[in-house]
Amino acid sequence: MLIDLHTHSSESDGSLTPEDLAALARREGVAAIALCDHDTTGGLARFAEAGKKYGVETIPGVEISAAWSNGNCHILGLGLSRPHAPLEEALKKIRDGRGDRNMRIIEKLNSLGIDIHVREVKRMAGGDVIGRPHMARVMHEKGYVQSVQEAFDKYLAKGAPAYVDRFRLEPPDAVSLLRDAGCVVVLAHPAQLCLDSQGLNALVAGLIPFGLTGIEAYSPYDGATEEYRALASQYALAVTGGSDFHGISKPDLRLGYYGENTPIPVECLDSLRARMGPAANRRNERILF
């Protein structure tokens, strides 16, 4: 049995609709899958309905990119069972911040001789959340770069000529917000934090009082799985895993796998369910959006 507790759809920066993502899970033999779009819950209701249609267990989630100076700090909220007004308000503020940032990035790209327009980026996105991956895909489509990765490396990554920062929540605020929304709160792909073992331990210990309840030990970016498992054991955290599947914008990431031909352990689903409570065993009934 395959599972995947971290995926994205076209509602943020993935290439598949929530419905197509559920259909792909069925074809690939992924029995349980979490949708964690960036800064939006807009696709969760459709994802749940598609899960029922295709016989796939769907887990509603969201991913928040928190403020972080070196690397990335991403926080997952898994098992989001109902709309939570403070969370939706915060997500809207984050999305609005993305909008201002997007215009500034496009202005920088134009000044560098790359002729793309926000209309093209919106068309490429197709959902509520528009971001750098959509710009990268437009740049690739128009022949300015040979790949999406090249667009990031040359223009869009942090420190590159067209990079612009945006509004983000501080990590404790993101964690507490997701906790108050009833989520299992997971620190995603810890390697992207760019911390040593001591720094990671300190961060995890500091976030637990705000509601951190899990760590993503199995991720395509992380080679220190056993370290993360040990950290989860030390602080009695859930151990989760996900592919961070995005579709064509990250073509090397395969649904249900965190490494090449290495499936995400089913035990991660058990670990998550243990913290979601009795309702976690009722398939496709957790979302009331």
* pLDDT tens digits for range 20-61: 999 999 999 999 999 999 999 999 999 999 999 999 999 999
Instruction: Characterize the bridge pairing of strands 184-187 and 73-78.
Output: antiparallel
Angstrom CA distances, 275 to 42, 216, 240, stand at 24, 14, 11
User: For residues 138 and 132, what is the distance between their CA atoms, to the nearest angstrom?
Assistant: 10
Which residues fall within 8 angstroms of residue 97, CB to CB, at 6 or more apart?
166, 167, 168
Angstrom CA distances, 244 to 113, 163, 205, stand at 32, 22, 25
Q: How many CB atoms lie within 10 A of CB 46?
A: 18
User: For residues 212 and 268, what is the distance between their CA atoms, to the nearest angstrom?
Assistant: 16
Is 130's pLDDT higher than 90? no
How confident is the model at residue 271, as a pLDDT?
A: 96
The structure tokens listed for 112 are 């560098």
Provide mean pLDDT across the span 236-240.
98
User: For residues 107 and 114, what is the distance between their CA atoms, to the nearest angstrom?
Assistant: 9
- Tell me which of 1.20.1730.10, 3.30.1020.10, 3.90.650.10, 3.20.20.140 is the CATH number of domain 2-90+167-281: 3.20.20.140
Nearest residue to 254 via CA among 263, 262, 245: 245
CA angle, corner 47, sides to 80 and 242, nearest 5?
65
Most confident of 84-98, 114-128, 233-247: 233-247
Angstrom CA distances, 55 to 23, 52, 58, 90, 205, stand at 9, 5, 9, 33, 38
Q: Where does the pLDDT of residue 165 fall: very low under 50, low under 70, confident under 90, or very high at 90 and above?
A: confident
Q: Where does the pLDDT of residue 284 fall: very low under 50, low under 70, confident under 90, or very high at 90 and above?
A: very low
Q: Please give the mean pLDDT across all residues of the chain.
A: 92
Is 240's pLDDT higher than 60? yes
Say whether 66 sits in a helix, a strand or coil.
strand
